[in-house]
Every structure is written in C-alpha cells, then in structure tokens.
Chain A
Amino acid sequence: MAVSSSRSAVRRSPAPTYAHYRQYKQQRVRRNLVVWAVVFGAVTWAVWSSGFGLLTLFNGLSESYSFIVTDALPPKLESVPDYLGPTLETLYMSVVGLVISVVISVPIGILGARNTTVHRVVSYLAKSIAGIARAAPSLVITVFFVAVFGVGPLAGTLALGLGGVGILGKVYADAIEEIDAAQIEGVRSTGASWLQILGQGVWPQFKPAFMTWTQYRFERNVRGGAVIGLVGGGGLGFSLISAINLYQFRDAMTIILMIFVMVMVIELATRALRRRAI
C-alpha cells in the first residue's frame, strides 16, 4: 500500500488502493440505501395505511375464485349471439379511432420532428400537444366526450382517437428524427419541394416504424374499446356494465370471455396480415 501511494505521485491518475475500494463500496451502499429506503418506506406506508396485507390478498383471491365458480360460471354460451353486435361495434370504434389518431398524428409527427419541421417553435408545440394527450388516460377523455356527445360509441371513438395521438404523435416524430439525413439531402439536392422531400425522401424510411406503431396502437384500441364502454363509450364494455347492473354475472362472464377471445383473434390476425401485406 505504501509503495503504491508513493508511486501514485508520478502517475497521471493515482493507483487505487484498498482505501479507495472501501470508499467505492460505501458509496454504492449509500446510493442503494437511499433508493431502498424510499421504496420500503413507500410500500410500508401504503400497506399499513390501506390495511391491505398478504391475508387480504389471498382472501380476496379465494373469495373471487369461489364467486366466479359459483355465480359466474359456466358462461352463458347461448347469449353469445346477443353480444356479437357490441363486439363488432367495439371493432368499428377501434378502426375509426385509429384512423382519427393517424390523421392527426402524421402532421404532428412531421411538424414535431426536428429534421422535417417548418420551425422550432412549431416542433415544440406539436410535441407538447402529443405530451398532453399522452398524460391523459383515455377513460378521462371519454368522460368529457360523453358529456358532450352523450352515451354511445361516438364518444368512445373520439376518445380512442384523441388518446392515440399522444402515443402515435410522439413515436412518429421520434421515428422521423432517426431517419438517415443523407438520403433526404439526396432528394433535396434535386431541387424537390418540401412535400416532394417528404414523399420521396422521408416516407420510404419512415414506413416500417409507421406500420409497426400503427399496428400496435390498433391492438391497444381493441382492448381500450372494450373498456371504454364502462364509462358510457359503447361497445362490449357497455354491455358488460349493463349485465353487472342487472346482476347477470354469467352474462358478464360471457362478455369478459368474448373480450379475451376478440383481443387474441385481433392480435393473431394483425400479425398474419402484417407478414402478408408488407
């Protein structure tokens, strides 16, 4: 140790000694201690003040299990045809909501991306719009649309559409910003206009990300569309809340299973289509 510390005066950076090692270890421990203190503090506070413990968890799960087995099973398969209409309605909502999101998000993406925007301020504004839309859960948006358009699928569709702008606007802008600048330079050097640059230089590179994220959002819409009816947005969610209000738990279970099947089928179908179409 003595040797290495006397030698260190000559070196550019001092040779680390055991003291440094201890210091390093202690620093790590201190750092982690703060994090774990925060985490454990928060969890103990929440568990203690909510009175929700392991016992509540297992009681709740076993109660739910016996409830499902006795009151909600077997699902009423004979009422499946009654809910095909709402299922389709959910799909319609997802599709139209997606179109609305894309139509709004593409300009937001183009104007938000630093490399294709018309002005820095415009880019900032476009990104802020997406940021606000992202922070608002779509169910909250639905509450306001229901207030304006009344209960029904229109409110739900618009809420899905607006909710999608938050995500799609951001990822479109990000994807466009990652585009290879040299290829745009190439198109620009031919004297192309702004629109021509977008069409010939930007779109071909943007297309894969665009397809992936749009597909992702469609899958999210199908899930969201099933839920949004719970607050009056139409579709399967609305049938579900009606069934529950009438204590028709086996109908409710049927609807829940139909939501599950619909989500799975849509995911498989979009994946198959994507392989084929692109």
Chain B
Amino acid sequence: MASELNTRALQQVTSESTTPALLSVRNLNKTYPDGTQALHDVSLDIPSGQLVAVIGLSGAGKSTFMRCVNRLVEPTSGQIVFDGQDVTRARRGDLRRIRRQMGMIFQQFNLVQRLPVVTNVLHGRLGYTSAVRGCLGRFPQHEVEQALEMLAQVGLADQAFKRCSELSGGQMQRVGIARAMMQGAALILADEPIASLDVSSSEKVMTILKEVATAQRITTIVNLHQVDFAQQFADRVIGLRDGSVFCDMPTDGLTEDLIRDLYYGHVPQQDEED
C-alpha cells in the first residue's frame, strides 16, 4: 500500500513513474498548541484526475488535513509534495505560487458578501495579479470574460452583477466553485462543501464538482461527512479516524462493515474537539 513507501521511493515515483502522483503526503503530523493531536502519521498519494472523498466523524482531522495541504494550517512534521514542489518547505513567495495552483472551496462559502458575484469569481486570479491592479480590482478583459464563462458553467450567468449576499446558499457555493476554477488550478480542495446546504443544492454542487474533476481532469479532494454522497460521486474514499488513515480504497470497495467501524467502531470520547 502507498503508506508503506518511504521518502526515497516517493522520489522515484514522482520522477520516474509514468503516472506520477499529483499530491504526495508523507508522515504528516499536526499537534495544535493546546495539545490536541489532529493528524497522526498520515501518508497518501493522489494521482491526477481523481475525485477523492475524505470521510470520517467531525474531529477526525479531515479539515486539518486539507488545510495542511495548502498550509493554511502549519503542519508539525512530515512532507507534502505537490506537482514536484515541496509545499512544507516553501517560503512566502513560493507558497503563494503553490497556493494559486490549488483552488479551495469552503463549508461557509467564504465569499466577500458585499461584492458582486463576478468580482468574487475574479478573486480567483488575485494570485496572478500585481499588487496595484489587484487592490483596485482591475482585471484584464480576458479574465473578466473567463469569469463570466465560469459563471455560465455553474449556471449563474444571470446573477453575475448581483451582490453575493442576495444569493441562496447553493448559489453561493457554486460561486465558490467558479472562483476555485478561475485559478486554473490542478487541484481543488473542497472542505465540507455541502454541509450547509439542503439535499437538492447538495446534489447540484456535487454534480458540478464531479463534472469539473472528470471533464477538465482536475484532481479534487472533498471532505464529506455524508457517506452516501461519497459513494455516489467519488472515485476513491479515504476514511480518517482519530487523525489516522483508517481505510483508503476505490469507492466500490467500501463495505457496510468498514463504514460502521469508521463511524462507530470506537468508544466515543466525551471531550472530542470539533
């Protein structure tokens, strides 16, 4: 299994293998200052074009894992290699360049509510924009056209000039997806994208994510707590339990027993962190 590879083997994989992993995670640990150990020796390889669902109880470390990948959360130890670049050792400028190749989608959408939809989509280009132009919100014509095209793809063309605060939750999440796509990223990280949505909006959002992953071959990692959605949309499922990889397999390999083990197979801790 992948987790048995050591660092040297990884280098061979990334440099020599015909299908190199887009994202390689080795022995990732994260301990928060209050002593909570959120991640425990996590090692993974994710090749291009996969839609991977990360499932598990809340507090299992899904969100911390995702935020370590783009270093919104600083890992305690371990190595993350993305597209041949060492994320964990990147300095500020390099980190910005790496981050703009990873789009992120959030549970609470995290849009700037006061700004119009199209500007929020254009925010995906800020990583490529100079300081002055970015601050003033002046984007070149081809980027504006691309943003409008992205909005059309997620079915929100006619909402382009509305304020985000006027949209429904499902619509906001689609704007979030358009913003992530706008980055032209090779990897999309979606952190509980449907946890705040109703069932029909959830299906719409997941369908769009699936389309993006398959049609444009963008690798997508989705944190989910609904197993049924994972089974319906993902190519591969990774189960996290108490900060460690509990299972990692193609979606059809996921059995009822495994799910029961993942979710109920341990004594619930009273003071479980969120």
A15 vs B152: C-alpha distance when bound (angstroms): 8
Whether the Cβ atoms of B141 and A16 lie closer than 8 Å is no
B-chain residues with CB within 8 Å of residue A1 when the two chains form the complex: 145
Whether the Cβ atoms of B144 and A18 lie closer than 8 Å is yes
| CB of B230 to closest CB in A, whole Å | 34
- Mask, A78-115, CB within 8 Å of B = 1, is 00000000000000000000000000000000000000
- Mask, A1-15, CB within 8 Å of B = 1, is 100100000001101
A-chain residues with CB within 8 Å of residue B158 when the two chains form the complex: 12-13, 15-16
Whether the Cβ atoms of B116 and A16 lie closer than 8 Å is no
Query: Which residue on chain A has the smallest CB distance to residue B141?
Result: A18
Interface of A is mostly: loop
B-chain residues with CB within 8 Å of residue A21 when the two chains form the complex: 118, 144, 148, 160-161
Contact count band on B: 10 to 19
Whether the Cβ atoms of B116 and A15 lie closer than 8 Å is no
Q: In the complex, which residues 131-154 of chain B have their Cβ closer than 8 Å to any Cβ of chain A?
A: 141, 144-145, 148-149, 152
B157 within 8 A of partner (CB):
yes
Tally the A-B contacts, defined by beta carbons under 8 Å. 32
Whether the Cβ atoms of A24 and B161 lie closer than 8 Å is yes
B-chain residues with CB within 8 Å of residue A17 when the two chains form the complex: 145, 148
- Mask, B152-182, CB within 8 Å of A = 1, is 1000011011000000000000000000000
A20 vs B149: C-alpha distance when bound (angstroms): 13
| CB of A273 to closest CB in B, whole Å | 38
Interface of B is mostly: helix
| CB of A131 to closest CB in B, whole Å | 32
Q: In the complex, which residues 201-252 of chain B have their Cβ closer than 8 Å to any Cβ of chain A?
A: none
Most buried by B among A15, A20, A21, A24: A21
The one of B116, B145, B157 in contact with A18, judged by C-beta atoms closer than 8 angstroms, is B145
A18 vs B161: C-alpha distance when bound (angstroms): 12
A-chain residues with CB within 8 Å of residue B144 when the two chains form the complex: 18, 21
| CB of A6 to closest CB in B, whole Å | 14
Whether the Cβ atoms of A15 and B161 lie closer than 8 Å is no
A15-B141 contact in complex given A21-B118, A21-B148, A24-B116, C-beta closer than 8 Å? no
| CB of A169 to closest CB in B, whole Å | 34
Whether the Cβ atoms of A15 and B157 lie closer than 8 Å is yes
| CB of A232 to closest CB in B, whole Å | 49
| CB of B141 to closest CB in A, whole Å | 5
A-chain residues with CB within 8 Å of residue B149 when the two chains form the complex: 4
| CB of A247 to closest CB in B, whole Å | 54
| CB of B139 to closest CB in A, whole Å | 9
B-chain residues with CB within 8 Å of residue A12 when the two chains form the complex: 158
A-chain residues with CB within 8 Å of residue B152 when the two chains form the complex: 4, 15
| CB of A37 to closest CB in B, whole Å | 20
A20 vs B116: C-alpha distance when bound (angstroms): 13
A-chain residues with CB within 8 Å of residue B116 when the two chains form the complex: 24
| CB of A23 to closest CB in B, whole Å | 9
Query: Which residue on chain B has the smallest CB distance to residue A12?
Result: B158
Q: In the complex, which residues 181-201 of chain A have their Cβ closer than 8 Å to any Cβ of chain B?
A: none
| CB of A31 to closest CB in B, whole Å | 13
| CB of B118 to closest CB in A, whole Å | 7
A13 vs B152: C-alpha distance when bound (angstroms): 12
- Mask, B15-50, CB within 8 Å of A = 1, is 000000000000000000000000000000000000
B-chain residues with CB within 8 Å of residue A13 when the two chains form the complex: 157-158
B-chain residues with CB within 8 Å of residue A4 when the two chains form the complex: 148-149, 152
B-chain residues with CB within 8 Å of residue A18 when the two chains form the complex: 141, 144-145, 148
B-chain residues with CB within 8 Å of residue A16 when the two chains form the complex: 118, 148, 157-158, 160-161
13 A-B pairs in the complex with CB atoms less than 8 angstroms apart: A12-B158, A15-B148, A15-B152, A15-B157, A16-B118, A16-B148, A16-B158, A16-B161, A18-B141, A18-B145, A21-B118, A21-B144, A24-B161
Task: Give the 6 A-B CB pairs with smallest separation, nearest first.
Answer: A13-B158, A15-B157, A16-B160, A24-B161, A21-B144, A18-B144
Task: Knowing that A16-B161, A20-B160 touch, tell me 17 more A-B residue pairs with CB under 8 angstroms.
Answer: A1-B145, A12-B158, A13-B158, A15-B157, A15-B158, A16-B148, A16-B157, A18-B141, A18-B144, A18-B145, A18-B148, A20-B161, A21-B144, A21-B148, A21-B161, A24-B116, A24-B161
